[in-house]
Structure 1
């Protein structure tokens, strides 16, 4: 330790109060020890530390050795006796607080006066400890993240290498191959081992290179581009080329994938084949449309419901040709599917080619196919539920929930008529129940003539009109 060179000139004569102020300002905690190591005075410049040692007044008159943790006592002995009392060394000591907790403090000593007294300077190490703990936690978190990244890289690299389709990573500026899987290396023929660093155009026949270049230019400018057909230079086979971009370390790269034109026709496992056969033979109608609402495929039940000769006559036609009574009904259904992805128990009508109408309950879902939305519809004939065995004059009424579903699909005047019929039927049923099925009393309750009541009973298919309980004689 190097002291001031001319302390008497620069410091001058300091009185006791000035010395005490300097000592307390120089440390978070300062102790004054006598020649026997007993604490004679204590000062704190750190308020937090002063609160921790709220009972520091009890230290006065006690040996410093007895106020520290047992494992720190050898260090205290070293600091307060012999060479340590002359100052210069810093030691980590665990000071015991009023609650019995150990608080780390860095201490050093310096002699003061001629009576063998020692001043002890202490620095609170808790901020440093917290910082070190935080550093350790951050380092451990980084190690975990790095481990996950390594594992993810291993998985994706394994997938990249095992892919049966040729996949290449190209430099965004030069369009040279920077990385290629084994399937892509084979496209370069005999020089496949030197495929990295070569222009990607060398993998394609001369007449196809312009199309591949146009695809890369489109992807670079717009971020996406339509797949193109091209021929390989190695064997002249026709392939489909797709591309996308990504950035790595600030550089633009292309990811190029080459596949056979019919690679989308994948053989289905037996379980999936059985499922398709079940859909084809199920008595409920099933139909799939494209994003434009035109039929892609339909099962036999749907073709039968719309009275079509076969699937070939249905494929490519708009579904709203047969769906719904109003033109807007199919539009509402497709809009709901685009916004929410699925529809359940949607009541509608299928119109046959020869005038047959079938009440159906529709459940539909949106699925993605090749980046485009397709719609699948399952339609169940529910006419048997609402078609009674009574006479042909019966016209069913809808529930409140069904009426709500019709909003936007039928004109308001039709909705009002349906609602009026529903209310009228409920009132008649209530009157019959209150009168014990006595139609004369029910007609009187409703303010109707008996003949008018019979007409409405026939209209709604209520009761057995061949007998009149409670009216005999």
Structure 2
């Protein structure tokens, strides 16, 4: 069997004749398939005379048959083709990458050329590099994205450090379990009379009077479990007077930390009592207020809402769905949620509130969507029933315009709205006829196609004109 002479960098089989003895043509083709995705048979003139592919997605190579191999590649790859075809049979085997033009761009292919004998043919084994090119592009995009994220992270970190250090009141961050200080701002170092950075990795307890250690440990434990609580009053070492420490827990990288604000009485520290003021105002406000989660389950409600739905306490409605109380089930609130998604807030949305006794009260709802990890929805609900009852009632207590008719959707059944729509159209036609005839009712009845008696009956029903003591007008 004729075996190629190995190049200097190749280490051949020790007994190649024995291993390759008996190889058929099919075996050689299988071996070539294992080396690449397709093979090209090229004659002495550089023309592709035949091709074999390893998979159906490489059938595009058949369109090259009959063309010069150098004409199937881009201009920058022609010299590589010529060099591979001119390679001596005993020269070192090398893989060369070329690019084939295609409708969707370029197809990168890596070739190795073998000249098996003196039959005048050259065998080019090709490996399709498109998958590798896609992976390289993804890798490049990922690297660029990581670089951008890293730059943004550095910029964010710089802004955070500037903000943290320039806060006027003392702030420090400590690990909840070990109480070791992770970071303290400039104001905190100044308060302790410490050099910048010297407080890092110190126990928070080392800053306060020994007699207050147990109390501060208990306070940190309560803050870690229940969130922010009332400030803890303590004494700092080497200082006269007391300070107030407020702890707010947060989690990062699987660990819990505490953000500690220290109020020494000389700085404006954000007071936690301000949150309580807001809650007190919401609780005492005359309009009903409800805060719900994304499923519209009630999280917070004030006394005014409890009174509106006629329940004895707020606790009875916490956890219940707001769909139970507002408008038509899953209709009014569905419309509200859609508008909140589009506009973030809604004003004066007309609806009704259904109380626990089966009654209903017309209301106006203003709502806002609060963006969080899971969105929250706040609803301010104002009863308009008293306002409507205090308005002067018309003789015919019905809608006076199309807009008022559309506001009835959700408050009345469709058949009632259709009936009132008919009455509205009838009244508008009668009013137009009276205007057209200068209030001549006989003529108005004639152009409406009604008898005088029917017109007077409809005038009386719609409350149009003062009919007392009047007879027909001619």
Query: Under TM normalisation by the shorter chain, which class is it?
Result: 0.5 to 0.7
Q: Which residue is 1:73 aligned to?
A: 78
Separation (CA, whole Å) in 2 of partners of 1:406 and 1:431: 29
Deviations 1:308-360 (A, max 9, x none): xxxxxxxxx97699x99x968xx99xx769x8786627699xxxxxxxxxxx9
1:128-161 Cα shifts (integer Å, max 9, x gaps): 2222122112211222222222222222222212
| Alignment match, 2:123 | 119
Deviation, 1:254, is 1.8
Give the alignment partner of residue 157 of structure 2, picking from 153, 160, 169.
153
Note the C-alpha offset of 1:166.
2.1
* Distance in 1 separating the partners of 2:138 and 2:40: 31
How does 1:155-304 map onto structure 2 within 5 Å? Answer: 155-189=159-193, 194-204=198-208, 209-222=213-226, 224-233=227-236, 234-239=239-244, 241-248=246-253, 250-259=254-263, 263=269, 290-294=281-285
TM-score (norm 1): 0.60
TM-score by length of 2: 0.60
1:2 counterpart = 2:11: yes
Greater C-alpha Rg: 1
The equivalent residue for 2:342 is none
The 3-state SS of whatever aligns with 1:175 is coil
How far apart, in 1, do the equivalents of 2:177 and 2:105 lie? 64
Matched ranges for 1:407-446 at <5 A: 436=439, 444-445=453-454
Which residues in structure 2 correspond to 1:303-342 (within 5 Å)? none
Indicate how the Cα distance of structure 1 residues 467 and 237 shifts in structure 2: closer, same or farther if over 3 A, else same: farther
Partner residue in 2 for 1:28: 37
1:397 maps to what in 2? 397
| Bigger mean CA deviation after superposition, 399-408 or 37-46 | 399-408
Structure 1 residues 240 and 294: CA distance shift in structure 2, 3 A = farther
Q: Does 1:89 align with 2:93?
A: yes
Q: Retained in 1: the 8 A contact 2:177–2:256?
A: yes
With over 3 angstroms needed to count, the CA separation of the structure-2 counterparts of 1:149 and 1:431, relative to structure 1, is: same
Task: State the distance in 2 between where 1:168 and 1:94 align.
Answer: 61
Distance 1:376 1:153, change over 3 A: farther
Contact 2:80–2:98 under 8 Å retained in 1? no
Which runs of 5 or more residues in structure 1 are unaligned?
266-287, 297-316, 349-359, 389-393, 409-419
Equivalent position SS for 2:149: helix
Shift of 1:446: 8.4
- Residue-pair matches, total: 387
SS at match of 2:89: helix
Separation in 2, partners of 1:292, 1:432: 50
- Which among 48, 59, 66 is matched to residue 51 of structure 1? 59
Tell me, in whole angstroms, the C-alpha distance in 1 between the residues paired with 2:398 and 2:280: 29
Cα distance in 2, alignment partners of residues 116 and 175 from structure 1: 82
| Shift, 1:241, TM fit | 1.0
The CA distance in 1 between the partners of 2:73 and 2:409, in whole Å, is 80
Offset of residue 425 of structure 1? 11
Q: Is the 8 A contact 2:234 2:243 kept in 1?
A: yes
Pick closer, same or farther for the CA change 1:87–1:423 going to 2, 3 Å.
closer
User: 106, 110, 115: which one pairs with 1:106?
Assistant: 110
Shift of 1:201: 3.1
Task: From 20, 33, 50, give the equivalent of 1:42.
Answer: 50
In structure 1, what is the equivalent of residue 373 of structure 2?
A: none
| Alignment partner of 1:142 out of 128, 135, 146 | 146
- The answer to whether the Cα contact below 8 Å between 1:242 and 1:258 also exists between their aligned partners in 2 is no
CA distance 1:26–1:431, shift in 2 (3 Å) = closer
Q: Which residue of 2 aligns with 1:268?
A: none
**Deviation of 1:119 (Å):** 3.4
Task: Kindly state the Cα deviation for residue 58 of structure 1 after the two structures are TM-superposed.
Answer: 0.7
Cα 1:465–1:345 change in 2 (3 A) is farther
Alpha-carbon distance between aligned partners in 2 of 1:196 and 1:256, rounded to the nearest angstrom: 14
**CA separation in 2, counterparts of 1:372 and 1:209?**
42
Pick the aligned partner of 2:21 from 9, 12, 32: 12
